[in-house]
Amino acid sequence: MTIHPLLAKRPRAAALFGAACVAAMLLLIAPSPPPPDHASARRFRPNITSFDIPTNLTFCGEPVPMDIPEIRKRFEREFYLNLQWDGQVMLYLKRSGEYFPMFQTMLAEAGAPDDLKYLSVAESALQMPQSSKEAVGLWQFIPETGRRYGLQIDDYVDERRHPEKSTASAIRYLKDCYARFNSWTLAAAAYNMGEGATTDDLEFQRRGSYYDLYVNEETSRYLFRILAIKEIMSNPEKYGFFLDSTDYYTPPRTTEVAVAADIPNLAAWAIQQGSSYKDVKLLNPWIKKRALLKPAAGQPYVIQLPLPATEQ
DSSP secondary structure string, 231-254?
HHHHSTGGGT----GGGS--PPPE
Q: What is the pLDDT of residue 38?
A: 55
Residue 305: in which H helix or E strand, if any? Answer: strand 301-306
- How many other CB atoms are there within 10 angstroms of residue 225's CB atom? 23
The per-residue b/e assignment along 183-215, b for 16 or more CB within 10 angstroms, e otherwise, is bbbbbbbbbbbebeebeebbeeeeeeebbebeb
Query: What is the identity of the amino acid at 266?
Result: L
pLDDT at res. 44: 65
Contact 248, 236 (CB under 8 A): no
Mean pLDDT over 292-311 rounds to: 90
pLDDT higher at 304 or 36: 304
Per-residue pLDDT at 72 exceeds 80: yes
CA 152 to chain centre: 25
The rounded distance, in Å, linking the Cα atoms of 110 and 173 is 12
pLDDT value for 65 = 98
**pLDDT class of 48 with cuts at 50, 70, 90:** confident
Class of domain 48-247: mainly alpha
pLDDT digits (tens, 9 = 90+) for 233-243: 999 999 999 99
Q: Where are the domains of the chain?
A: 48-247, 254-311
Tell me the per-residue pLDDT of 175-186, one tens digit each, with 9 for 90 and over. Answer: 999 999 999 999
Confidence of residue 46 (pLDDT cuts 50, 70, 90): confident
pLDDT above 90 covers a percentage of the chain that reads 81
pLDDT tier for residue 312 given thresholds of 50, 70 and 90: low
For the entire predicted model, the pTM comes to 0.85
